[in-house]
Amino acid sequence: MQRFLPVILVFVVGGASGMLIGRGLREPSESAALRAPASNSAALADPKSEELGTPVPAVARGIEFEDASLLARAISEINVAMDGVGSRDGEITGQVLTTGGDPLSGVEVKATPGRRPDREEAETLEEKVRSFIRDEQWGEGLGAKATTDAEGRYRLTGIADLSYRLSAEFSGYRVRTNGRWREVKSGDSVDFVATPVAEFDLTILRPDGSEPKTAKVRVQSGRSSSNHTWTPTDRSIEVAAGLWTVTATVDDTEQGKVEDVSAELGVGASPITIQLMARGAIRGRAIFSKGEVDGRAIVYLLPASMKSDPTPEDLTGAPNEARSSSGEEFRFLDLDPGGYWIGAARGYGHEGNLPTVQFVEVADALVEIDVDLPPLDTAGGVIVYAYSPSGTLLSDVNVSFEIVTPQYTNSGYGNSSRMQDGAMLLRRDDNVESQLKQMIEATLGVIAQHSSYGSERIDITSADGGSYDIHFRDPARVLVTVSGYMGSDLLGKVQAQLRASSPNVGGSSQVYYGGYNSNDMKPDQNGEVKLGPFSPGEYDLVLSYMDTRRNRWSSGELARQPVTLVSGENRLSISLPPVYSVEVLFPEGTDGGSIQIQAKGADDPFGSRHEQFDGASAVLDGLVEGEYTLRAWGGGIKSNGTMTVHIPSGGPVVFDPPPVNAIRVYVSDPEGPLANAGFQDGDVVRKINGQKFEGEEQLALLGVFLQGAESVTIIVERAGEDVEMVVDPRGLFDGDPGGRFEPTSD
């Protein structure tokens, strides 16, 4: 940074202050505060002023930017605030192994902090320069580097309570994280895999024989692929050993490839040349109506050979489509010469808007064309105005329809457009209609989400028409302390999240909004994690477990407790319970299959874990103490069925379930279809139309047989007694049943 930053700033800042090539410095304007204090304004007019120390060279007299004390002074006056990051006593550790499992020493591992939390929205050139300098200071001041030792291990120290990105480099290897680590935090252990690579020099020629200024290069072999940026001064391409297809592309308009490029480790590959050819392609933008500030569109392309005079309905069934947002380009590549029909409709499909239709002819080169959208129809939607806690109309808000039932909250439906007056036009799509038809006792609402205020929700009576105001409240921010986490063997394997327990605080989407990924919700090495913003209200604080063998979060929960959030800072604490694993053994000859484990009586479908395994055993991690229902099937498993296991198990569990002979009923909604049919929570179905169950296969066949029945006679065991019920099965599953059935061996 010390060498290239002055170069950038003399060019950029000099341009802002009226610096002219060949003429030195002009008198600065009032906006020159970035470049020097006001007291030096007189000296600025004279590059040779002794008041400035070392003379400032005019641009035309050379590139000795390091001598520009004026510039150095300007940079020194710009400082990024790092006071809020807290202590920097954390660390990130890990190991680098080759693909053969050998440790690799001398690998440089680098941790780069994520985006500054107070990063300003720069508009003027001066603001952009200031922001650039602060970004560089942030990265250099809070980043860390380490080199692996003889065992391939590294230790990054001085890590703050922030999200970091990790990278690693070593000559002759491509070094990547072992798993899908996007961002890491203090206390994480992240391993890398180093793949040996070979190099070859690549020459790229355009159709006229010249070299492009830059090109995109993709090398592919089977499912393995990598992307590279090529320039005439950087021709080297790194690949693993093997046969590769190399494709080069310039600006989507020219492309060429060479197949069967052989690369050997230690030898590399012979230099190759790719001759680019012009591509038949269409590129352009969707043009929105006057008054729309932001919008999304789907662009359709139909070969004229398929339809000579298409209607808008014909175009929506076209084989090719692309998505576009305001100001973004759409593109259709590698088109055969001929005529095409093209058109665009609002949204990303499903809402029934019809596109415009126009004709375009494609030869063997790029065709650039903009596509007008039909006039905006405000009849099929609602108008939403979203306001900050202080009453300011917000323009950077996401809105969607939300459907709430007694058990579930589904959001993200509809397509929105931002209008010039700051309102959001939210139009229904087919998903809204289908969900409302399927859900019983469903209510429709609009949820608004903002990165600084969280989510707010209001009920609406219809998705067709009406204007609504949504007012954000002062948000809640949360510091969660997970007791029992520090010093445990679960570092990096636990996440904390808040789930709204009532739709009046924004619905379930509140958990995931704000750019969260799993690493944002992982506690640091001290067991603390910051979450937010959230709307004030009632939530459940939930701890979940990460299956590190598969590098994904399991669907089961470790702990849950209700909490109430208020505006401002909230401090919460939750205890990490003991966590166990269980090995399940199958009979000899079993060759893998599927296994499912679920806490006894659990009603939440997300609490059920379904895994696939190889061989004759399976290991399930992240389980807390309790009784679980275990099922397994497929892969030659002969004993399909259900059995109960207790965690901790005290050792391996042999999968030997008794035959399924009943159905246990779980009723979660006292006013749902199951309850209205007469079922009670805990009922055990013993007979249907006089038929007992003699295995899961018979149970499945009986279910198929009864699908069209108008009424069935059911015998359930309730509190030790048999109770006869006559039930119409047709209405039980028209939407949410308010519970579930589970095969059992009771």
> What span, in angstroms and rounded, lies between the C-alpha atoms of 455 and 325?
23
Contact between 323 and 301 (Cβ < 8 Å): no
Per DSSP, helices labelled H in 402-512 are: 430-438
Structure tokens at 556: 């089961």
pTM of the model: 0.56
The domain defined by 580-654 carries CATH number 1.10.3470 = no
Which among 399, 410, 406, 415 is positioned nearest to 447, based on CA atoms?
399
Contact between 405 and 461 (Cβ < 8 Å): no
Higher pLDDT, 313 or 501: 313
Helix (H) / strand (E) element for 287: namely: strand 281-287
Residue 96 has what pLDDT? Answer: 94
Q: Scanning the structure block, which residue is given the tokens 């149970």?
A: 699
Task: For residue 417, list its beta bridge partners.
Answer: 425
> What span, in angstroms and rounded, lies between the C-alpha atoms of 485 and 389?
36
Assign domain 198-278 to its CATH superfamily: Carboxypeptidase-like, regulatory domain (2.60.40.1120)
Which CATH number among 3.40.50.300, 1.10.1060.10, 2.60.40.1120, 1.10.10.1100 corresponds to the domain 281-372?
2.60.40.1120
Greatest C-alpha distance within the chain: 106
Which tens digit of pLDDT belongs to each residue from 662-687?
888 888 778 788 888 889 988 888 88
The segment with the largest mean pLDDT, out of 30-44, 466-480, 613-627, is 466-480
Encoded amino acid at 209, one letter: G
> What span, in angstroms and rounded, lies between the C-alpha atoms of 275 and 208?
10
Q: Do 281-372 and 662-744 have matching folds?
A: no
Which tens digit of pLDDT belongs to each residue from 76-93?
666 666 656 777 888 999
The segment with the largest mean pLDDT, out of 61-70, 144-153, 544-553, is 144-153
Number of Cβ within 10 Å of residue 626's Cβ equals 14
Which among 585, 521, 505, 598 is positioned nearest to 553, based on CA atoms?
521
Which tens digit of pLDDT belongs to each residue from 481-512?
999 988 888 887 888 988 876 544 444 333 33
Helix (H) / strand (E) element for 673: namely: helix 673-676
Averaged pLDDT of the chain:
77
Residue 130 has what pLDDT? Answer: 80
> What span, in angstroms and rounded, lies between the C-alpha atoms of 343 and 301?
7
Fold category of 83-196 in CATH: Immunoglobulin-like (2.60.40)
**Terminal Cα distance for the chain, rounded:** 70
Q: Which CATH architecture has domain 381-471?
A: Sandwich (2.60)
Model confidence at 115: pLDDT above 60: yes
Residue 109 has what pLDDT? Answer: 95
The domain defined by 476-575 carries CATH number 2.60.40.1120 = yes
Contact between 200 and 192 (Cβ < 8 Å): no
Cα dihedral 556, 558, 564, 569 sign: negative
Model confidence at 67: pLDDT above 50: no
> What span, in angstroms and rounded, lies between the C-alpha atoms of 340 and 355?
15
Question: By CB neighbour count within 10 A (0-12 exposed, 13-18 middle, 19+ buried), where does 660 fall?
Answer: buried
> What span, in angstroms and rounded, lies between the C-alpha atoms of 622 and 546?
7
> What span, in angstroms and rounded, lies between the C-alpha atoms of 350 and 432?
10
% of the chain beyond a pLDDT of 90: 20
Contact between 276 and 207 (Cβ < 8 Å): yes
Which tens digit of pLDDT belongs to each residue from 444-469?
888 898 888 988 988 887 767 788 99
Burial 172-196 (b: 16+ CB within 10 A, else e): ebbbebeeebebbbbbbebbbbbee
> What span, in angstroms and rounded, lies between the C-alpha atoms of 683 and 62?
88
Per-domain residue ranges of the chain: 4-76, 83-196, 198-278, 281-372, 381-471, 476-575, 580-654, 662-744
Model confidence at 564: pLDDT above 90: yes
The domain defined by 662-744 carries CATH number 2.40.100.10 = no
Measured between alpha carbons, how far is residue 546 from residues 513, 525, 616, 675 in Å?
Answer: 20, 16, 24, 36
